[in-house]
A = this chain, B = another copy of it.
Amino acid sequence: MVKRTSFEGDGCPVARALEAIGDWWSLLIIREALLGVRRFGEFQSKLGMAKNILSVRLRSMVDHGILAMAPASDGSAYQEYVLTPKGRGLFPILVALRQWSEEFDDHPEQIATILVDRAKGRPVKKLEMHAEDGRLLAQGDTMLKPRPAPRRRSA
């Protein structure tokens, strides 16, 4: 098999996430969906992508439980693609990608939009990672541990 290697059985949660949304288009589709896009044609025209690819990606994300097909919202008999909670949970990933570009892009003047606090219109701060007790953590303050064995009901 020369198939694209799948990470489905991999124990790394990063790989498992990439298995679902690690392709070239999925996160951009999610970006549009978070902005309120729901219709096939609207995704296609805003992203400028081929319709067959869009079709495959939408179906894949529906299979992964990221999007769901809803019968309609206006009167029309067409269907819509709406984000599930799992899909909306991708928002921090998009924010992290955005902030990385804002901080490190070689041509920041080409970045067209900024994410702001709706109430004040001011840019949001960088994502922060905290410990249970509230301490701010950097990468060096963390480590990976094997997942504790699933607790089995003791007879």
On A, residues with C-beta under 8 Å from B are 4-5, 9, 11-18, 22-24, 27-28, 31, 34-35, 48-49, 65, 85-86, 88-106, 109-133, 135, 137, 139-147, 150
Contacts and interface: CB of A to CB of B under 8 A. Distances in A.
A14 B27 contact: yes
A25 to B, nearest CB: 9
A113 B16 contact: no
A143 B130 contact: no
B129 A13 contact: no
This chain: copies in complex: 2
Nearest to A50: B5
Contact of A119 (B31, B118, B141): B141
3 residue pairs, one from A and one from B, having the closest CB atoms:
A11-B112, A13-B101, A17-B97
B96 A93 contact: yes
A44 B143 CA distance: 22
A139 B24 contact: no
A55 B52 CA distance: 31
Given A86-B104, A93-B97, A114 B14 contact: no
A113 B147 contact: yes
A131 B119 contact: yes
Given A11-B110, A129-B92, A105 B139 contact: no
Contacts of A22: 22, 24, 27
Given A14-B27, A96-B92, A100-B92, A124 B130 contact: yes
